[in-house]
Chains A and B, each alone.
Chain A
Amino acid sequence: MPEPTTPTPPRRAAGGVGTHPAAPAGPRPHAAGVGTSPARPEAEAKVNGAFDYASDLHFDGMLWGHTLRSPHPSAGIRAVDTAPALALPGVHAVLTAADVPGKLHYGLIDADQPVLAAGEVRYQGEPVAIIAADTLDTARLAAEAIRVDYEVREPQCDPQAAVDAGNHFRYQPVRLGEPVTAEAAVIIAREYTVGMQDQAPLGPESGAAVPTGDGGVRLHVATQWLHSDLEQLAPCLDLEPDRIHMVMAGIGGAFGAREDLSVQAHMAMLALATGRPVKMMYDRAESFLGHVHRHPARMRYEHGADEHGRLVYVKAHIVLDGGAYASTTDAVVGNAASLAVGPYEVEHVAIDAWGARTNNPPCGAMRGFGGVQTCFAYESQMDALAEALGLDPLEIRRRNAVAQGSRLINGQIIDAPSPAAPAVVGSDAVPQAGTAPSPAPPGAAGADARPFSPLADMIDRIREIPVPAIPAARDILDLPGGTGNTTHGEGVRRGVGYGVGLKNVCYSEGFDDYSTARIRLELEDGEPVATIHTAAAEVGQGHWNLQTQIVRTELGVDRVRLAPNDTKVGSAGSSSASRQSYMTGGAVKAAAEAARALWTDRDLADGPIEATRVFRHRATKPMDAITGQGDSHVQLALCVHRATVDVDVELGLVKVVDLTCVQDVGKAMNPNALEGQIHGGTAQGLGLAVMEELVTVRGEVKNASFTDYLIPTILDMPPMRLHIVENADPEAPYGLRGAGEPPTLSSTPAIVAAIRDATGLALTRVPVRPEHLTTGRPS
């Protein structure tokens, strides 16, 4: 099982605390502190294969759990006969809805999802029965032996039809100004479609449940939010929360897929029923069916602008398909609605956003969370407006860019970064000779009367970075089609496009979002050692490392340990919404400051010091149900992408040859990890642009495998040029701004804009498939 990581500092702090324990006067630069890029505590184990992922869990005497899932998107269940499965040697338990000890439903926001289907299934892959057996193979065979008498029904798969019939999880309008009567010189009205993207974490859903002997259970599981799991599980298992101990298991990627429960309730039920440890691990196909996806979307947009390209009004009709159960659709719709026009000023707004209830696979959290779909639409609209007006695509964005003091469409006033002291530090994370001269810091030119606009500044910066001159004659690996040897230059055209994204950071709409950290300081061999205890999920983003950096900075100690993430400390909230650096980073900082204060008055030789702190961000408000107005967001983050693509216009194959990105991160807490986040977020946006789609036909998933659900390889993802801006947010710890999601928003529209530039096609759907580029192509 995963052990607490015990990182030794990569190098000793020069002039740090020596063998004499002494209370530090205050935070000081530390060689492995905030702003540096020390090696991750778990890096070596992950690189050499020694890291224990949830799928590596093993307990003596453990059984294997497996799930029988519905093959039908919609069906009544007349009867479930488990006897043939129970009759198999090696099978220890077969449980159905009738065996759920407590509450029959769970859910992240609304508890509407059955632990096991009772009487009815509403999507393909819905769990119907669970089995515990000596081996996984036996458990799978037992699942095949269970007889389920289905009454197959016609599935409701059209989200618009569902909305029309009143089947939606949320409807959120936004109204501003006089959208009905507003008049514009130029009008662009188009309809956009976004396919169903999957998080495709490489680590499948996995975990183990171990009975504690007193009627309780301990769960080791790869999850994004231990305490939310616990809160949902306890009533279903009919256990007091303190009888369930949740421990984080090694996570192989998350991206939102691990926000909802998967194996948790099932393996706990099996462990409690058999009195033995039970492990569950999905295979790839089951993983695709066993977690939520990104909401597919159909969006009708109308933008009106004046003759200078300034937005007059935006109207949008947005339908997100939530699938069969609520999951986080409520919050996704809130984001889609409040971020529906992007980082642009506009007077008149009419947005109508729905989360439809259908028999398609349930959709919920994925990196970008409601911001991705609309970003593709509004950025495509901005390009269309620019084209209609003969404007440069960057210029039209600059003219409409929000600034300090601007009002977003939810009525919220942008109040950070501070216009008085914008701490702008430009740095090329991937320095390239002769590129990216830093523009003059904003505010330097006194003549500029406009309030500081971080977006206009970022647009100016990306404009200064030249489009790379990539030679035409190259190896086939550099050309569209890659290893397929489809072109040696035949049919290849170059295109360039831009995208801008606006993403909220932390939980919005009045949610009481907090995190907890405990720090213990003690002497070991005469040296101070700090132990950090939080429940924050390290999902690969480098959060463990960040915690140690914060503690080294605040306490000046070299030796920092991480206690296992579990529920014996308060909630850290979810590793999602780009929030953990802000929230658990803030909690660890506060706990470290408290420990430092205690340390000034006492000697560690007299005993250890312990401090626990809960950190909250500023309060937000719900969106008004009629107008969508309300200060619903905590922090807003911006990212600007430029994509350069080569398209084989005869075959419709695309090679993205360059991605340049300007992102405002407030403070680069760990530059190396930050670059990784921007690369990864950008790659996921690239995937949505040109290949990633979970295809469903009448509610059935057609490509639940990595053979047919394609994610970008290293050959599809170009080297990136990053320009990181640090406009500090005075409200956030160290001035940081959440960074993991914004690149996922802006890279997709930038790439599609570049493909439009190369092909001349309108392209209103992602992912762009080869046949979209070869049919209807202007000759």
Chain B
Amino acid sequence: MTTPALTAPAFHRPADLADALAHLAEHPGAVPIAGGTDLMVAVNYRRARPEAMLDLTGLAELRAWSDEGDAIRIGSGVPYARIVAELATVLPGLAAASRTVGSPQIRNRGTLGGNLATASPAGDGHPPLLACGARITIASTAGTRTVAADAFFTGPKRSVLEPGELITAVTVPKAAGPQQFLKVGTRNAMVIAVCSFALSLDLDARRLGTGIGSAGPVPLRAREAERIDLPWADPRRFDDALAAEFGRRVAAAASPMDDVRGTADYRRHALAVCAARALRRVWAAAHTEGSGR
């Protein structure tokens, strides 16, 4: 048995991103912390005992978002509350997901970057990133790389993030049509997802994007469902059978398990219902004048 460390973790508050990356290169064991809404719970329960912490909250460049024309670049330290307040029009799917994160206090502190770094299959921010084709910017002293959201997750709480790397931004294409996010939980608010589903309808490219949460080892896309034939030429031909088929394909793409939050069967069933509802809603919103949600 190794004698556990009895010292408090070293704490570094970098002046800028370069300083942060240099520190991380020197101390690959340092754990970056932004909102701390997940990490500090782990620390409190001794599931994590970081030897050092790197405080990202002072880095202005991570706490801003910018309009890049056809996409929004969101700094990894932007809290959910600001995504809800400032980006709901251009990124309605991500904003809807952000609204379901924890409580107001958690949304004030928790960040998209932290959600990604934790890489929980239940992370509320992930499905809309998959559905929208978001890209994740990762920096280190060696340079910067960009990873598509659907290539980021490698397993439960695992991602492509290497030691010394830091998530700096998430670039999300602006909505080119209606988007939906549905999250099933056993409580009406402040609940971890039993399963969730994000859908984006791109009216320009005539394309669907999907994201499944909490129903597999990683957040998933439902590629077969994305390929479903939609009646673009005659939108009124959209019917319940089509929505149901879409729901079946989404459910088939999931690989859920039984746990204390719900059964695998229920998750598949709920995903089918949610996906069918989401498709009906986005189709109606795209083709009915004045239909909001």
Contact = CB atoms under 8 A, between A and B. Distances in A.
Count chain B CB atoms within 10 A of each CB in A137, A138, A480, A485 and give the residue with the most: A485
B260 A771 contact: no
Contact of A691 (B44, B187, B196): B187
A715 B44 contact: no
A485 B180 contact: yes
Contacts of B266: 652, 770-771, 774-775
B203 interface: no
Contact of B260 (A651, A703, A712, A715): A703
B58 to A, nearest CB: 26
Contacts of B3: 88
A680 interface: no
Interface stretch (A139-147, A256-264, A499-507): A139-147
Contacts of A480: 188
A651 B270 contact: yes
B8 to A, nearest CB: 8
B189 A488 contact: no
Contact of B44 (A90, A283, A703, A707): A283
Contacts of B188: 477, 480-484, 653, 655, 713, 715-716
Contacts of B46: 140, 144
Contacts of B4: 141, 144-145
A485 B1 contact: no
B74 interface: no
A774 to B, nearest CB: 6
Interface stretch (B141-149, B159-167, B273-281): B273-281
A348 B269 CA distance: 46
A760 interface: no
Interface string A675-717: 0000000000000001100010000001100011010110110
B184 interface: yes
B182 A713 contact: no
B184 A486 contact: yes
B277 to A, nearest CB: 6
A486 B183 CA distance: 6
Q: Which of A483, A652, A769 has most chain B Cβ within 10 Å?
A: A483
B181 interface: yes
Contacts of A90: 6
B100 interface: yes
A715 B189 contact: yes
Contacts of A650: 273
Given A84-B1, A485-B96, A713-B189, A89 B184 contact: no
A152 interface: no
A483 to B, nearest CB: 5
A601 interface: no
A285 interface: yes
B151 interface: no
A770 B182 CA distance: 15
B6 A88 contact: yes
Interface in A276-302: 283, 285
A138 B187 contact: no
Interface residues of A, number: 46
Nearest to A478: B188
A710 B186 contact: yes
B265 interface: yes
B269 A485 contact: no
A481 B96 CA distance: 14
Interface in A461-485: 477, 480-485
A289 to B, nearest CB: 13
A140 B47 CA distance: 12
Nearest to A701: B260
A672 interface: no
A606 interface: no
Q: Which of A90, A283, A770 has the most chain B CB within a 10 Å cutoff?
A: A770
Contacts, number: 110
B263 interface: yes
Contacts of B14: none
B227 interface: no
Interface string B236-266: 0000000000000000000000001111011
A144 B2 CA distance: 11
Contacts of A774: 266, 269-270
A490 interface: yes
Given A140-B46, A485-B96, A486-B182, A775 B189 contact: no
Interface string A585-597: 0000000000000
B293 A488 contact: yes
A487 interface: yes
A283 B185 CA distance: 25
Contacts of B181: 485
Contacts of A485: 96, 100, 180-183
Contacts of A690: 186
A696 to B, nearest CB: 10
Nearest to A650: B273
B60 interface: no
Nearest to A693: B260
A655 B188 CA distance: 7
Contacts of A716: 187-189
A481 B173 CA distance: 28
A623 B194 CA distance: 46
Contacts of A89: 6
A487 B100 contact: no
Interface string B174-201: 0000001111111111111010100000
Nearest to B292: A488
Given A483-B100, A770-B262, A770-B266, A708 B183 contact: no
Interface in A646-689: 650-653, 655
Contacts of A703: 260
Contact of B184 (A481, A655, A695): A481
A484 B96 CA distance: 9
B45 A482 contact: no
A477 B3 CA distance: 51
Interface in A124-146: 137-138, 140-141, 144-145
B73 interface: no
A691 to B, nearest CB: 5
B126 interface: no
Of residues B187, B263, B281, B293, which shows the largest number of chain A Cβ atoms within 10 Å of its Cβ?
Answer: B187
A145 to B, nearest CB: 7
Query: Which of A285, A712, A716, A771 has most B Cβ within 10 Å?
Result: A771
Given A140-B46, A695-B260, A484 B182 contact: yes
B100 A771 contact: no
A771 B265 contact: yes
A715 B103 CA distance: 12
Nearest to A703: B260
B99 interface: yes
Interface in A44-77: none
A470 to B, nearest CB: 15
A147 B164 CA distance: 36
Contact of B187 (A88, A137, A710, A775): A710
Interface in B17-55: 44-46
Interface string A100-137: 00000000000000000000000000000000000001
B27 to A, nearest CB: 21
Contacts of B185: 481, 484
Name, among A88, A480, A486, the residue most crowded by chain B CB atoms within 10 Å (CB to CB): A486
A67 B181 CA distance: 44
16 contacts: A88-B3, A140-B46, A283-B44, A480-B188, A482-B188, A483-B189, A484-B100, A484-B191, A487-B277, A488-B281, A651-B274, A708-B260, A710-B187, A712-B187, A771-B265, A774-B270
Given A483-B183, A485-B180, 7 more contacts: A141-B4, A483-B188, A485-B182, A490-B277, A651-B273, A715-B188, A716-B187
Interface of A: 84, 88-90, 137-138, 140-141, 144-145, 283, 285, 477, 480-488, 490-491, 650-653, 655, 690-691, 695, 702-703, 707-708, 710, 712-713, 715-716, 769-771, 774-775
